A and B are shown apart, each in its own frame.
Chain A
Amino acid sequence: MERSEIEAKVRKFMIEDLEIDEEKITPDAHLMKDMGIDSLDFIDIVVIVEKTFGVKIKSEEMAGVDTFSKFCDYLEKKIG
């Protein structure tokens, strides 16, 4: 899957399912501080990523994944 496609899908579910304002989603936006993602949203993220990309997010792999861009990097690597 192309990087741009991953980004578009992540952006789409963040807007539609997590109800995050589109303008808050920038490459350097901090997932928690800027986009307001909390533990509850993470339930959605874990399950939606599984359904959309067919990969399981693991907590130990998420260390340092704190911005939108890094999250997409992580998924790109995971999807391989």
Chain B
Amino acid sequence: MARQEGKPVEWKGRTDGLPWMIRSLVAVMRVLDRRAIYLVMALIVPFYMIFNHKGYKAIYRFFRQRLGLGPLKSFLKVYANHFRFGQVIVDRYAAFAGKRFRFAFDGNDMFLAMLNEPGGFVQLSSHIGNYEMVGYSLTSTTKKINGLFYGGESEVMMEFRRKILSMHNIGLIEVNGSMEHIFQMNAAIDRGEIVSMTGDRMLGSPKSFRCQFMGADANFPMGPFALAVQKEVPIVAVFCMRGKWGVYNVYVRKITAAPGLPPRASMQDMAQKFAAELESIVRLYPTQWFNYYDFWNA
């Protein structure tokens, strides 16, 4: 692993769709069973695969190169991946519309124990499964969760998010090109709160670590690991994966650095441990890998 600087892909974090489309979709979700939308989606997915060719190629390569599947199996898995991605988006809008979901937890006792400790921590999710559902499932009444979000997101999406997140003791910290979010994250940890962000894409800084992931090196952002090491707090990795019958399986894993390492080495150590946890979940749910670009060469 090494510290990398350059021009890796930085997440712009903007949801497609005009405000009226987003509002209409939420309104439809209030009255329609989401399974009906899944059915329509199954027919639309092949067209999406054709027109979103860049994303199709990235996921096809993921199945071929990272998981070693044959051409036909990879093609079918790409279909399954796109369908799953659609389901996850539909579920997100269903959550905005007030629909309830069932969750099964793995590691929740550890999370609850950490909530009762005085210090704060960094909560890391990633672009697999339905990471936004993490905010609706792992809630805390004792510690406020501060979610980092990209300031370029559409106002209507933010309006829905704020509404639902405020019900779960979650506030938002905007990343908008200034340094303000750094001070807000620092203050939140000082107050013993949780700072939540994604650990697989650059947000705010292009600096990264090269980590071994799925058989090759890939860039992971330095930010979350720098925050945890400098503030001397642990990281909790949370993955929210869509399971059978619409149940979301939530995996919670604590990540700490090996003792006695200097700061940069501690950050690298935590980044590699996060990559290893991410890999173990991706291998369990390969069709829920939603990074639609060449992750390993970004």
B231 at the interface (CB under 8 A from A): yes
Question: Distance (Å) between the CB of A67 and the closest chain B CB?
Answer: 15
Stretch at the interface among B60-68, B210-218, B220-228: B220-228
Instruction: Point out the residues of chain B lying under 8 angstroms from A19, CB to CB.
Output: 3, 264
Contact with B along A37-62 (1 / 0, CB 8 A): 01111111011100000000111001
* Contact, CB under 8 Å: B223 / A43: yes
A47 touching B186 by the CB < 8 A rule?
A: yes
B178 CB → nearest A CB, Å: 8
Q: Is the CB of A40 within 8 A of B183?
A: no
Give the Cβ gap from A61 to chain B, nearest Cβ, in Å: 10
CB nearest neighbor in B for A40? B205
Q: A39-B205, A42-B179, A43-B226 are in contact. List 16 more A-B contacts (CB 8 A).
A: A17-B263, A19-B264, A36-B5, A38-B204, A38-B206, A39-B223, A40-B207, A41-B205, A43-B186, A43-B223, A43-B227, A44-B226, A44-B230, A47-B186, A48-B230, A62-B179
Chain B residues, CB < 8 A from A42: 179, 182
Alpha-carbon distance between A48 and B264 when the two chains are bound, in angstroms: 13
Give complex CA distance A17, B263 in Å: 8
- Identify the A interface with B (CB < 8 A): 17, 19, 36, 38-44, 46-48, 57-59, 62
With contact pairs A40-B207, A43-B230, A44-B230 given, residues A59 and B222 touching in the complex (Cβ less than 8 Å): no
- B78 part of interface (Cβ distance < 8 Å): no
Cα A68 to Cα B204 with chains together (Å): 22
User: Which 5 residue pairs of A and B lie closest in terms of their CB atoms, listed nearest first?
Assistant: A40-B205, A47-B230, A59-B183, A39-B204, A42-B182
Q: Give the docked Cα–Cα distance between A4 and B261 (Å).
A: 30
B252 interfacial by beta-carbon distance below 8 Å: no
A59 and B180 within 8 A (CB): yes
Q: Among the interface residues A19, A47, A48, A58, which one has the most CB atoms of the partner chain B within 10 A?
A: A47
Can you report 27 A-B residue pairs in the complex whose CB atoms are below 8 A from each other? A17-B264, A19-B3, A38-B206, A38-B207, A39-B181, A39-B204, A39-B223, A40-B204, A40-B205, A40-B207, A40-B222, A40-B223, A40-B226, A41-B205, A42-B182, A43-B182, A43-B226, A43-B230, A44-B226, A44-B263, A46-B183, A47-B186, A47-B230, A57-B183, A58-B183, A59-B180, A59-B183
